[in-house]
Amino acid sequence: MDHKDAVRLKATERYLLNELDPDQLDQFEEHLFDCPDCAIDVRAAAMFVEQSKNVLAADGATVPAPAAIPVRESWFSRFRPAFAVPALAVIVAVVGYQNFSLSRALHEPRLLPWTQINVGTYGGDGPVVSTTPGKGFLLFVRIPPDADYTRYRADLYNPAGRLEWSLAIPATSSQDQWPVAVPGTNRETGIYSLAVHGITAAGQDKQIGRTSFQLQIQK
């Protein structure tokens, strides 16, 4: 069995669910020794199922009791859960739980940490914003209007000086403050800086200001 055959037969999933016939099982297990991609898929899928059971158990959900299925011992068999339908039930339950949690997060109002920064302010550590690990926050960025520019670009740098992201901001004479939603990720406590560039209609790029703020991660 080569890798194309394994993909076509969905051998990884059928192996975990003990659905391969004896000949296919022999061929697939021999293939696993030569195919790191399939071996990683088998191990990752088995770990996913185990972690799914732990997540559901932590949330008080009931997990179907695994039904014992006789399997032939092999080096790879330790990665294969000894259940079929219960495994699928766990996966479906986890996906449903995650979708439900995401739906609630999207439709329920919530408060976000925030701070205001002014472009063109140099020196100092700037204002402080506090958040929790993995949670986002708001930056109200004030950019003095300038008729020379048709748009702006804001670059966020982490405490190590590495660029995290860039954001295009339109230029308008009727607005000088922009609410920027900074997505949640695993950031570290420290001083972050925001550099704002003005871009002309001809495409010329000029840094018009750079400011900083302190991010505190409350654990």
For each of the domains in the chain, give its residue range(s) and CATH number, in order of start.
Answer: 3-107 (no CATH), 114-217 (2.60.40.1930)
> Which of the four pLDDT bands, split at 50, 70 and 90, describes residue 145?
confident
Separation CA 162–CA 172 (nearest Å): 29
Percentage of residues in the chain with pLDDT exceeding 70?
66
- Taking alpha carbons only, the member of 184, 193, 181 closest to residue 122 is 193
The residue ranking higher by pLDDT, 51 or 144, is 144
Separation CA 219–CA 215 (nearest Å): 13
For CA atoms 69, 51, 79, 14, the dihedral sign is positive
Coil, strand, or helix at residue 83? coil
Length of the chain equals 219
For residue range 122-133, what is the model confidence (pLDDT) as tens digits? 556 789 999 988
The residue ranking higher by pLDDT, 113 or 3, is 113
